[in-house]
Amino acid sequence: GAVVSQHPSRVICKSGTSVKIECRSLDFQATTMFWYRQFPKKSLMLMATSNEGSKATYEQGVEKDKFLINHASLTLSTLTVTSAHPEDSSFYICSASPFLRESQETQYFGPGTRLLVL
């Protein structure tokens, strides 16, 4: 149980284009989903927290107009990198948090999406 998928797993795009990444919880409903960015050999940097049906909460320094997040249902969140530039190249990982009585912080992670902007 607690499987999270991401699509696509890898994407290469031209500078200036937009890229959409999907995150799905496959066997549970996620009240909250998180989007992280990870640079090589580095820890995860939380970009934003999204709750179904409401606007995402962005971390300091993350441009909300550049990284659009939509959490349309309890099993799907999308991250759109708009007008992508080479510095946006990174590994993007989503996670989903089911509502558990024991812990509201337990997160299950997707396999990640490798974005390369040329």
Partner 1 sequence: GEDVEQSLFLSVREGDSSVINCTYTDSSSTYLYWYKQEPGAGLQLLTYIFSNMDMKQDQRLTVLLNKKDKHLSLRIADTQTGDSAIYFCAGGSGGKLIFGQGTELSVKP
Interface residue list for partner 1 (CB under 8 A): 2, 4, 6, 32, 34, 41-44, 46, 49, 93, 95, 97, 102-112, 114
Tally Cβ neighbours within 10 Å of residue 19. Answer: 18
- Closest distance of CB 75 from partner 1, Å: 17
Nearer to partner 1, 14 or 41 (CB): 41
Q: Which tokens hold the place of 26?
A: 């496959």
Minimum CB distance to partner 1, residue 16 (Å) = 27
Classify burial at 102, counting beta carbons within 10 Å of its beta carbon; exposed 0-12, middle 13-18, buried 19 or more.
Answer: exposed
CB-based contact 19:11 (threshold 8 Å): yes
Closest CB to partner 1 among residues 10, 16: 10
d(CA 41, CA 9): 19
Q: Provide the minimum distance between the beta carbon of 6 and partner 1 in the complex, in angstroms, as a whole number.
A: 7
Which is closer to partner 1, CB of 2 or CB of 76?
2
Q: Which two tokens stand for residue 106?
A: 């337990």
Residue 83: CB minimum distance to partner 1, A = 26
